[in-house]
Amino acid sequence: MRLHLINPNTSRAMTAKIAVTAREVAGPDVTVVATCPAPGAGPAAVESHTDEAWAALVVAQQVAAAEAAGDGPADGYVVGCFGDPGLDAARELTDGPVVGIAEAAMHVATLSGRTFAVVTTLSRTLGRAHELVRRYGFEDACVAMYAADVPVLELEDAGSTAREKIAELCERAVRDDGADTVVLGCAGMTDLCADLTKRVGVPVIDGVAAAVGLVSGMVRMNVGTSKRDEYAPPPRLPGSGSRI
């Protein structure tokens, strides 16, 4: 099995970090290809609606390119950004399953407990997180959302206070809001998951691991993306102007 993990920002360090998580979850019989756009070809970090729009285009372009590659398309794709940018477009472009890390994390959180909280990076991204909770049907399960006001790329700085801020908000969600589980709202938090779970005493869900687990399971089940109507192939490929 071959899975394609797409980080829509240009951070090579973050791409390498989420690839480690993906490979640990996927197992020895799965090849994980992790990619991100070249500097200048995508957002440096996804921290605004403008970044999100650019990230969505990056995701669509990378899936389209992978599908057209000479060695054949991947068996499944993971969108490695918590806004799930370009998820619907990606599903139009492939027969295989495509899973976003926000959707996956919320599903896994509700399988682990009745309620969950989201702890994310910047407060300006909370609107998108609320939209996704509504879209995925988890309004009743999501009891709180917190932003640590930490820029995404600060998660790569070992000397920052980002990790402690995130940990304190996870503790608050469990203590004050009664969250059974906590969803981490950024792919760059993937390496915090195990330590946070021990610290707060409830499952802390990383979307990268959740998405890889779900998409690999779908591949093994031979469940792809329905092509009945909305996710049928698009009339034009992204950026090409040509018809399929």
User: Residues 45-64: pLDDT tens digits?
Assistant: 999 999 999 999 999 999 99
CA 98 to centroid of chain Cα atoms: 11
Tell me, what's the pLDDT at 32?
97
DSSP string, 74-122: -SEEEE-STT-TTHHHHHHT-SS-EEEHHHHHHHHHHHH-S-EEEEES-
Alpha-helical regions (H) of the chain = 12-26, 49-68, 87-92, 101-112, 126-136, 162-177, 193-200, 207-220
User: Residues 130-157: pLDDT tens digits?
Assistant: 999 999 999 999 999 999 999 998 888 7
- pTM, entire model: 0.94
Q: Which residues pair with 146 in a beta bridge?
A: 119
- Confirm if 149 and 122 have CB atoms less than 8 A apart: yes
User: Which of 81-95, 145-159, 226-240 ranks highest by mean pLDDT?
Assistant: 81-95
Per-residue pLDDT band at 239 (split at 50, 70, 90) = low
Closest CA to 58 of 103, 90, 33, 17: 90
Per-residue pLDDT band at 167 (split at 50, 70, 90) = very high
Residues 6 or more apart in contact with residue 112 via CB below 8 angstroms: 180, 181, 203, 205
Q: What is the rounded distance in angstroms from the CA atom of residue 126 to the CA atom of residue 131?
A: 9
